[in-house]
Structure 1
Amino acid sequence: MSINIDARGLACPQPVIATKKALEGITDGVVTILVDNMVSKENVVKFSTAHGCGVSVINQDGNFLVKISKGAPMPEQAVISEPVAGGHTVYVMTQDTLGKGKDELGAVLMKGFIYTLLEIKPLPKAILFMNGGILLTIADSPVIENLKKLEQAGIEILSCGTCLDYFAVKDKLAVGGITNMYTIVEMMSAASKVITL
Structure 2
Amino acid sequence: MQIDCRNLACPEPVIKTKNALNSLKIGQTLEILVNDIAPKENIKRFLSKNSLSYELSQNNDETTIKTVKTNELKNTSTDEYACEVANLDKQKVIYLNEESAGSGAVGKGLLSKFLLAMLNLETKPKAVICVNSAVFMTTDRAHVSYQALKNLEANGVEIYSCGSCLEAYKVVDKLSVGNITNAYEIMEMLSSYEVIKL
Unpaired stretches in structure 1, ≥5 consecutive residues = 1-85
- Tell me the residue number matched to 1:127: 128
Alignment partner, residue 117 of structure 2: 116
- Partner AA of 1:127 in structure 2: V
User: Which runs of at least 4 in structure 1 moved beyond 3 Å after TM superposition?
Assistant: none
Name the SS for the 1:195 alignment partner: strand
Report the Cα offset of residue 110 of structure 1: 1.2
Q: Output aligned runs, 1:70-149, within 5 Å.
A: 87-99=90-102, 102-138=103-139, 139-149=141-151
Deviation of 1:171 (Å): 1.0
Query: What is the identity percentage for the equivalent residue pairs of Structure 1 and Structure 2?
Result: 37
Aligned to 1:168: 170
- For 2:135 and 2:122, how far apart are their aligned partners in 1? 25
Q: Which has the larger radius of gyration?
A: 2
Gaps in structure 2 of 5+ consecutive residues: 1-88
TM-score, length basis structure 1 = 0.53
Contact 2:99–2:108 (CA under 8 A) maintained in structure 1: yes
In structure 2, the partner of 1:189 is: 191
CA distance in 2 between partners of 1:104 and 1:143 (Å): 12
Q: Which amino acid aligns with 2:172?
A: K
Q: Would you say the 8 A contact 1:144–1:174 is kept in 2? A: no
* Superposition RMSD in Å: 1.2
Aligned length: 109
Q: 1:131: how far off?
A: 0.4
TM-score for both structures, normalised by structure 2: 0.53
